[in-house]
Chains A and B, each alone.
Chain A
Amino acid sequence: MAINTAHAEKHHTAYLTYVFVWLALTVLTLITIWVSYIDFGVLNIIVALSVASVKASLVALFFMHLKYEDTMTWVFVLYPLGLLALLIGLTISDVFYR
């Protein structure tokens, strides 16, 4: 019985969903490359990192099934991301506003 429950709890994503996610990732990669040839000044890195973050979210949510994970897993995904934001944020404030 327990085994069947384990099976039932797994989420089955359709192959087609994955293909769409992959297409989106590929298009976003091409956009990143294209944008790098245009000079937006300081905005360039912001655009590049924003696109990268959208891509990373797509990989995590769909390919890694984060979308279907429980609260506990989400906490342990967001916690290190918060630490990382703190580390990079404080670094930036230190370097630029010293």
Chain B
Amino acid sequence: MEEIGVHHGHVHHIDPVVEYESAKFGMWLFLATELLLFGGLFAAYTIFRAKYPALFEEQHHELNKTLGALNTIILIFSSLTMAMGVSSIQKGKKTLLTIFLALTIICGIIFGVNKYFEYSAKFHHHIYPSTSIFFALYFMMTGLHMLHVIAGLGVLTVILVLNIKGKFSERYNTPVEVGGLYWHLVDLIWIYLFPLLYLIA
């Protein structure tokens, strides 16, 4: 809170309310571009699934439905802990934020480890992106998503370190909320990827 005071008074004359609203709005704008980035892949998926329905149905059985479902549950739980973390710091509870952030990061890491086992199993069975258009889409979509998980974990780790250093409080917690928005997007994308890739009936 002193930090904001100093910022406000001497360094730059930005109204904290404006700063908070702008940072949040900026993240929503960025999330819009992220949605359209994945949108291109969803369009490609639509085209090829319409063209080769039998191939998609046959080859999706190669995917590990159990691991996919487990990862879905894990990511949804990590979204819960993230949301609780944001709520905690807005109430000024720093230790709770540390706990919730740590839980969120652990979930993200477990997601990544599961994905590593999934990819390894595919390579072991000589399944690569070049195997078929279905696997090209599978690796591209889940791979791009995994990059977002890794980026999200980086953001959350920085926020965790800053929180342990005592940078956030009831009054100043914009990075926590904005970082949280990014993490929820990672969950949002997976909510669509899971049924589209793993659950083709």
Contacts and interface: CB of A to CB of B under 8 A. Distances in A.
| Binding partners A and B | yes
Interface of A: 2-3, 5-7, 9-10, 12-13, 15, 18-19, 21-22, 25-26, 29, 32-33, 36-40, 44-45, 48-49, 51-52, 55-56, 59-60, 62-64, 69, 72-73, 76-77, 79-81, 83-84, 87-88, 91-92, 95-96
B80 A18 contact: yes
9 contacts: A3-B171, A5-B17, A29-B69, A36-B201, A56-B188, A56-B191, A63-B184, A87-B40, A91-B47
Contact of A81 (B35, B50, B80, B84): B35
Interface stretch (B71-79, B134-142, B148-156, B159-167): B71-79
A2 B17 CA distance: 7
Contacts of A95: 46-47, 50-51
Interface residues on B, range: 35 or more
A9 B87 CA distance: 14
B119 interface: no
Interface of B: 1, 4-5, 8, 15-17, 20, 24-25, 28-29, 32-33, 35-36, 39-40, 42-43, 46-47, 50-51, 65, 69, 72-73, 76-77, 79-80, 82-84, 87, 90-91, 170-171, 180-181, 184, 187-188, 191-192, 194-196, 199-201
